[in-house]
Amino acid sequence: MPDRLEVAKTYKLFIDGKFPRSESGRTFAAHDPKGRVVAHMCRASRKDLRDAVTAARKALPGWRDATAYLRAQIMYRMAEMMEGKRDEFTDALRTGWSGSPSRTHGSESRATKEVTAAIDRLVAFAGWADKYAQVLGCNNQVAGPYYNFTVPEPTGVVAVIAPNDPGLLGLISLIAPVVCAGNTAVALGGGGPGASLATVILAEVMATSDVPAGVVNLLTGDSAELIPVIAGHRDIDAVHAAGVTDEQRTILREGAAENVKRVTVRELASGRAARSKSAKAVDLYDAETCQDPWWIEPFVEMKTIWHPSAT
């Protein structure tokens, strides 16, 4: 009897709380280290990205106006759901569901470390949701019978561009400070096989947790195709990226100059960057650095309020 050809699952995009196929009909395959196809994923088009931005913009008022305590509870619920899918995330990063160690992540211990760090990162920013304003804001001393406060408010819709490695930890590290502050996100997962698979599993977490539709939208696809669209999109207020090339960084900066969006690009201390002398390179496993409330600061606007005092 001939060997049976298994039917590989095709994972969809996650936009507005739903799982649509790419409007282009395109997909790409994730292969295990032996070259076997383990899954297919949708390759998002510029139309898919525009749909995700529309969904994020629609969800912004509700998420922005929710209490900080509620946002914290929802983010913690996301961490709980990730904990329940720990084995799935680990298998995706370690093997691509193939049963063989992957070239990218090497061993189960490294994949386990990444999943643990990603869950802890989400919990950390859930804790900051109702506290970061006290750190970033202030009570200003002014002359006269007034109170003067500076308070942070969310910037709006933020595009997140995750690195290929570490795919899951990178995605969570970039999304968490964004949504923590009341922004909504349109996230492009990393392009590596493990990173793409982790992205679609994270979409299942979002769909089955308490995250309102449109707050986090997840795309898989080609960053080289979508980054120019992100840079030029006038309804994206900010960008949070890591692991991009120098050319892509330039494209994002030029887009920011044309339509005045904030662009924050994290240089990762991995591979070649780890051997460089750049003081800006970030190790995403460094909790003290990456869970700092100042990671939230690029995605808030400071509003100063004057109020007459009673005296």
Residue 273 reports pLDDT greater than 70: no
Q: Which two tokens stand for residue 91?
A: 């298998």
**Nearest-angstrom CA–CA distance, 56 and 185:** 6
Percent of residues, the chain, with pLDDT higher than 90:
62
Cα angle: 75, vertex 302, 53; to 5 degrees? 55
- The pTM of the whole model exceeds 0.85: yes
pLDDT band at 3 (very low <50, low <70, confident <90, very high): confident
Residue type, 290: C
279: which residues sit within 8 A by CB, 6+ positions away? none
Cis peptide before 166 (omega within 30 of 0): yes
Q: What is the pLDDT of residues 156-214, one digit of tens each?
A: 999 999 998 888 999 999 999 999 999 999 999 987 777 888 899 999 999 998 999 99
**Nearest-angstrom CA–CA distance, 232 and 24:** 20
Q: What is the pLDDT of residues 113-138, one digit of tens each?
A: 999 999 999 999 999 999 999 999 88
Q: Which two tokens stand for residue 89?
A: 């995330």
Q: What is the CA radius of gyration of the chain?
A: 20
Q: What is the pLDDT of residues 60-83, one digit of tens each?
A: 999 999 999 999 999 999 999 999
281 and 257 Cβ atoms separated by less than 8 Å: no
Distance between terminal CA atoms of the chain?
92
**Nearest-angstrom CA–CA distance, 196 and 164:** 8
